[in-house]
A and B are shown apart, each in its own frame.
Chain A
């Protein structure tokens, strides 16, 4: 028995040690990600629900960007679902309690890029916390309906898997608020629910559309014998399937069905039925008899993608059809007109959700592929709600501007660029559109960033000139005998990291251009399987033909040239080939057979040539288009002969991209459907990066080689930047064992300070501001709770220049060190000095600073470096004069504050003493008080009216001058330098005036006081003044221990 126990202990010890060494999300904690939008164009909005209260409460579900809540009628929104799956299919607010909300994850708009859900969630506190309530394998949910008379009864319309068969689909019902579910309508494993309608007056009456469909990498099929249109009159216990003969719906195979009852007259039911002849049907007798009412273009277009019918809450004949555009009928569906056409407001196409305010049907919110819109006049005019950063990026790239720009393309929203940072945050207006259609790769030419390569779907490559906006189409054509070129929906365009001006483009062949795309050289044979049975996209769609190039298959989807060797190029294809050349494209080897554990034909979603060894490469594989949700991340060290899997159970979601750090080969990043993951030990262990970043799909990422930022292209939440990877690069597995490890950071620039005066209200997106601060970083094994902790900063002369609150969290901490000290002590006046620069101290001079983390009784030293903004154009001598002048004015201000304080202090003492005296003695004291007060009033503004008094004494002049000199890093102007000498002289005079009082009236007063045996008046000493609160802000730390 003893032996056994010992065995357990021995076994446990190394295991525990390993556990302690493993990074987790908390380890990465202090490295926050910041969102820079954009919200100028949204991403797809898949679901909306609201209350009719004033102001409105709204919940908006993005197709892959989470749930957003507004409590002010749609002006401002906050994300309320950031710990959960970001793909949203359905939202329903409990009609009896608006704090209870149901969310069905996994949108049901089954396009090629559709994301995946994880079941139903519920909140009972208005979105503050959510509980998973099951149906996790449904993957896609089209609608949730709550029984208005018994709200713990809820119906879920689950569309089910898009890419394979599964049984958890159909209509589900709970009668206990989500604790248990019963599948109440099910056809087969290939058929799911596309829509339900619950009768608002007789909640036992239900309509349901069942949809047989399947998406494949190369093909989409909508419709089949499984599809059907159903009604129940007993809360889903029994269902009747409508037939052509008995009920008048279309015969033959059906496709996707949308259904809606008129809230004001539920016996009127509308159904959009995809069939051989798709049309809108209407019933006036609660579904017993149906008649076709309309088959116009917008009503019937792309039924798999636009399957919603919305009836006006107060008018049963007014019907809206969100489609390619929005159209509506005022005659019960007989005729449809385009909304917002006559007045021409521009609304993004592709509409999926429409919520009409039940209390004011003129107001509505529309969810489109381009975000959310509101109309207040029954869909005539619209405003874009441009505060939702739910854009769906495919790729991201950078340039070398200062600050650098980011570039990327979005699902259905074109190609864009924006600066990576501004001091107040990147706003919608900072984003510039470069191209239209669906956007994917956007690559600035490394040899001249005035030129940008970008594309729209299916390989339509153009070159845009940034300065003029002109663009030139560059798509190569097939040579004779090459067959038709096959370009993926998301065609790869890649700039060579070694040869400026060289770009690569992938069809089924790999192309290279050395002249910015003016000509192309084919450098490979067909690198795909060229399986012709998988090239039938012209027949794709099922009942409704649908070929948008989304099903283009047997194509190249990823290209990566080795930075160590331009002859080594890796290529991955959508049909599972992983090809490498080591001779610049003369010969190619398909190495996919060497990758163990990846099923055949799995999408090679990403490949990354190693940055330190041209035999090293990493690859990700994505099988979700065949229903395989596993995470595949692999590494080779022998140019593809053997591959080692890197993904552990800590990495979730199908993988899109893997990146090796540019400095530390053990630092890896992986982007998956579920978020961002990092490893500091070459992929042996991984942790999810969670700080501020929701678990959103990371489709691409890149590391900026100069600024060391990790830039993420998320498919649903826009662009995110993790500033400065330097600390993470230094965090080794060994370091994790230590209590405290100081970590390096990049040099901090004294960024030129700018600001815009804008008053945009709350209706514009602006986020991701970067404080003008140096960053101090360290790792703590455990949170600091009890005892002193602070960070001290010393300059080159070992003078303490700042004391900062220390970060206390477990894992990496980041402490921001402001590049200015606190402002000078100033005497009080009748208002604050209206010059922003007067609130701060002078800038810290460029140079190296010693940093000390003080934690309890221990001190941990480190260094930070401060460097000038590379864009400044003044010489060092000017900067020195500015520093000198600002420091001088700072000291002058403090000396002046001391003078003022003495004058005021003597005045107050004299007054207090005078009150205790009478006659001539009182007059002597009053004289001193009066003289002091008269002097005081020439030092600082004291007039009535505060900042509107306009009064300017020395305090106000000095404060304004100090502020003006302090805010600009170059040489002060001549007038500023002159004004400084004038004020100095003036202060000299006042100081003499004070000396005169101190030498005459003060001794006289003290003589009087002595005669009366009263304490003399003692002017405050500098030492006493310095000890007052705020005296020496940087050294006030009194250790309480």
Chain B
């Protein structure tokens, strides 16, 4: 008898959770709300500063974004700064570590990548307008934590699986499947340390793994500026070599 009563109670507990799986649109709406809703959508620009760690190696980085799709990402190793930039139409990069200081235009998968980074609110917000597809795959367990699983297929064909914490609807993990020069690569990203700045929830720690490989890159964001003034010129691809070399010409 006692056992039966306990069973009944557990059955009641089950009823308390919705019988029907939440649709992708409902989940995305809750996710947007969790991130700050209108406040997030009202944001025009953002700058995030922090540090990238790979084992003992550490590199400072800055990411600047301007709505709807401008981004500039910089990181510094041994005093040398690499950058990847998208100005809304053109993607370019400077990777000076082996001696090449000139900017290079990005194309193909690399361009797709930087464009994804540039999408100000991420691929789930207004996904239909952006040509992305979203599918709800139900409630799953992420390392012991219940989460909703959403599968995104981006317009460019790359796939992302996003896990939203079942309590607060924030992303806690994502898995990406993308083509790099036609090669498929799978990544796993752990997302956390959410903090509120001006009413918007930002993750401040993002840990990236390549699936099946040891080691991780961890981005720790120490400073977030909402709506900073960002010089529009900083997104434009420079035509000439960089400023460091200028004095030689003047003399």
Chain A contacts to B: CB under 8 angstroms:
4, 7-8, 11-12, 15, 24-27, 29, 71, 78, 425, 769, 771, 773, 782-790, 804-805, 808-811, 816, 818-823, 825-833, 838-841, 897, 907-908, 911, 926, 929-930, 933, 945-949, 959, 1029-1030, 1033, 1036-1038, 1040-1041
Contact = CB atoms under 8 A, between A and B. Distances in A.
A831 B143 contact: no
Interface in B1-46: 2, 5-6, 8-9
A813 to B, nearest CB: 10
B145 to A, nearest CB: 4
Contacts of B6: 8, 11-12, 15
A820 B145 contact: no
Describe B's contact surface by its main secondary structure: strand
B220 interface: yes
B9 A839 contact: no
Contact of B56 (A788, A841, A1037): A841
Given A8-B5, A12-B6, A946-B98, 20 more contacts: A11-B5, A78-B212, A783-B145, A785-B194, A786-B168, A787-B193, A808-B192, A823-B57, A832-B97, A926-B250, A929-B250, A933-B251, A946-B100, A947-B98, A947-B99, A1029-B76, A1030-B58, A1030-B59, A1036-B51, A1040-B224
B122 interface: no
Contacts of B190: 808
Interface stretch (B78-86, B111-119, B123-131, B228-236): B78-86
Contacts of B195: 786-788, 1040-1041
Contacts of B248: 933
B222 A1037 contact: yes
B247 A810 contact: no
21 contacts: A8-B6, A26-B144, A783-B142, A783-B143, A783-B144, A783-B172, A787-B195, A788-B204, A808-B192, A809-B143, A818-B56, A821-B56, A825-B79, A827-B79, A832-B78, A832-B80, A832-B97, A839-B77, A911-B250, A1030-B59, A1033-B60
Contact of B57 (A15, A769, A840): A840
A787 B194 contact: yes
B222 A1038 contact: yes
B76 A27 contact: no
Contacts of A789: 192-193, 205
A833 B251 contact: no
B56 A809 contact: no
Nearest to B13: A12
Nearest to A817: B56
A778 to B, nearest CB: 15
Contacts of A897: 79
A810 B145 contact: yes
A698 to B, nearest CB: 22
A1040 B99 contact: no
Interface string B37-72: 000000000000111010111111110000000000
A12 B9 contact: yes
A685 to B, nearest CB: 16
A186 B165 CA distance: 49
Given A783-B145, A783-B172, A809-B144, A1033 B51 contact: yes
Nearest to A944: B99
B143 A945 contact: no
Contacts of A24: 144
B239 to A, nearest CB: 19
B56 A822 contact: yes
Contacts of B212: 78
A855 B64 CA distance: 28
A818 B55 contact: yes
Of B80, B99, B243, chain A has the most CB atoms within 10 Å of the CB of B99
Nearest to B99: A946
B215 to A, nearest CB: 7
A7 B168 contact: no
A789 B170 CA distance: 16
A33 to B, nearest CB: 13
B101 to A, nearest CB: 8
Contact of A805 (B77, B170, B194, B220): B220
Ranked nearest first, the 3 interchain pairs of A and B with the lowest CB-CB distance are: A946-B99, A26-B144, A822-B58
Contacts, number: 176
B97 A1029 contact: no
Nearest to B5: A8
B180 interface: no
Contacts of B8: 8
A15 B8 CA distance: 13
Nearest to B10: A12
Contacts of A948: 99
Nearest to B144: A26
B56 A820 contact: yes
B61 to A, nearest CB: 8
A737 B34 CA distance: 29
Given A769-B214, A933-B247, A810 B58 contact: no
Given A787-B195, A805-B207, A829-B79, A822 B57 contact: yes
B78 A771 contact: no
Contacts of B193: 784, 786-789, 808
B212 to A, nearest CB: 6
B223 interface: yes
A7 B3 CA distance: 12
Contacts of A4: 5
A7 B62 contact: no
B165 A783 contact: yes
A1030 B75 CA distance: 10
A811 B205 CA distance: 19
Nearest to B218: A805
A761 B211 CA distance: 18
A425 B212 CA distance: 13
Interface string B201-225: 1001101000010110010101110
B107 interface: no
A15 B53 CA distance: 44
Contacts of A782: 145
A785 B78 CA distance: 33
A71 B79 contact: no
Given A26-B144, A786-B170, A805-B218, A11 B55 contact: no
Contacts of A838: 78
A785 B170 contact: yes
A828 B81 contact: yes
A769 B214 CA distance: 8
A840 B246 CA distance: 32
B64 to A, nearest CB: 13
B168 A785 contact: yes
Given A24-B144, A784-B192, A833-B78, A771 B100 contact: no
Given A785-B192, A805-B53, A1040-B224, A839 B78 contact: yes
